Amino acid sequence: PKIDVEVSLAPGVDLPPNTRVFVSALVLNGRGQPLAVELLIVADLPATITLDNSDAVGPFNISSAEMIYVVATASLSGTANVQTGDYQSRTEGFAHSNQHAIIRVEIADQVQ
């Protein structure tokens, strides 16, 4: 599977250009460990990145899950651990069916 993710900031979200942005694919209803991750910075946005099995960060990859979702997090601390004040948005769950998919994620919601 190959997931092209169009990532952007919502209008009105103003973050420093060097803020790290983590784009991750996760198992729907899973334990929360990412299957694949790409790293950007706010200055790169809007951007289209590709998540596939080569972006695996652990023992599992996108092919190991039938249903996934994608989450994009602008991390004010610069770490992958989501904290209060970060901005984040996620897609609905979808079946990639080992095919090419194109989705959009607009980072809009501040983590409370």
Q: What pLDDT, in 10s, does the model give residues 19-43?
A: 999 999 999 988 778 999 999 999 9
Q: Is the pTM of this model over 0.85?
A: yes
Compute mean pLDDT per 10 residues along the chain, 112 residues long, and list them. Answer: 97 97 94 91 98 93 94 96 96 92 96 96
Give the model's pLDDT for residue 2. 95
Cβ neighbors of 55 (< 8 A, separation 6 or more) are 25, 36, 37, 38, 61, 62
Give the model's pLDDT for residue 94. 94
Distance of CA 86 to the CA centre of its chain: 13
Residue 30 and residue 68: Cα distance in Å, rounded?
9
